[in-house]
Structure 1
Amino acid sequence: MNTATMLRAFCDAVEQRNGKAFAELFTEDGVYHDVFYGAFAGSAKIAELVDDWFYRTATDFRWDMHTPVSDGHTLYARYTFSYRSTLPEAEGARAMFEGVAIMKLRDGKITEYHEVANTAPAFVDIKFAPERIAKIIARQGAALKARPEMKRHLVE
């Protein structure tokens, strides 16, 4: 599967709430590191991330990958991601943020997915209080810096 086809299948699976199809893009020992929910290892957990976790407080997903670059072992792509929040305080607002997907590949499948994302605009979109946003962003920053394998992706 070429890069463009894989990325479209990746996004489509999330938009269609198809965890099985999403998990099939990963190796059996694959790990998805989500910016909000943490690490999900193995096919069953990766499928659960899409089928359950993503849709607990959101619906109407839209995910697009842009300008992918790959050497066959590592794939980078900018993305835009949005959803309609079902949290009471959001009052049905649409949240959107941008990020970069970082994927390690083996035999045409994803072994690891990481992302670096500017999530703050999404929290403003869904009407989180500034204090709540500050706590979330601080927690995400601390978690990212604690992962030594991601340090080379950070701009200090």
Structure 2
Amino acid sequence: MITSAELQALLDAMTAAAESGDSAGFAAAFTGDAVYHDYIYGDHAGHAGIRSMLDEHFLRDATDYHWKFFDAVCDGDHGYAWSLSRFVSTVPEFAGRPVLIDGMSRFRLRGGLIAEYWESVNGGIAMAQLGVAPARMEKVFRKWGGWLEARPEVRRYLGL
């Protein structure tokens, strides 16, 4: 069980590691069996998977990364926080374009660490900032909609 202040400190350490490219420090905020549900790169499990997401995906695609969580709240086992992040794309077709993202994250916590991480971000705003073509955006939005509808908790909510 952790407090809101302890969750904020954990998130501050996690984002400092992400900003500096320290994937081991980033993964250290998570339990060994944690799952990170990233809205762009999908699910990544365990320390190795979470490190890989940062090293082989995000840091490949972005530079000048800044990420800050605000207003962390926690009941001991579950937490929530608002975040802002910004970066410059290094993806060849969007290279040099800045992106600013506003998001909400939720956390399932265990032993003072993150056991499961979900983020809710309006990726359409990021794609518009990058200049992604509308037809490509539609394809991505349909994929994300499928991910949402397939989640067990959503299926339960829908009575399926």
User: Corresponding residue for 1:125?
Assistant: 129
Question: Structure 1 CA distance, aligned partners of 2:89 and 2:13?
Answer: 23
Q: 1:109 to 1:91 in 2, by over 3 A?
A: closer
TM-score relative to the length of structure 1 = 0.91
RMSD: 1.8
Q: Which residue, out of 136, 141, 149, partners 1:137?
A: 141
Question: Structure 2 CA distance, aligned partners of 1:150 and 1:44?
Answer: 28
Total equivalences in the alignment: 153
Question: Structure 1 CA distance, aligned partners of 2:156 and 2:81?
Answer: 16
Structure with larger RCO (C-alpha < 8 A, sep 6+): 2
Structure that is richer in helix per residue: 2
Q: 1:80 to 1:106 in 2, by over 3 A?
A: same
Question: Structure 1 CA distance, aligned partners of 2:24 and 2:74?
Answer: 25
**Identical counterparts, % of pairs:** 37
Task: Determine helix, strand or coil for the equivalent of 1:112.
Answer: strand
Q: CA deviation at 1:84?
A: 0.4
Q: 1:108 to 1:59 in 2, by over 3 A?
A: same
Structure 2 portions without partners, runs of 5+ = none
Q: Which residue, out of 79, 86, 92, partners 1:82?
A: 86
Structure 1 portions without partners, runs of 5+ = none
1:45 aligns with 2:49: yes
Question: Structure 2 CA distance, aligned partners of 1:48 and 1:137?
Answer: 24
Q: Which amino acid aligns with 2:15?
A: C
Q: CA deviation at 1:145?
A: 2.0
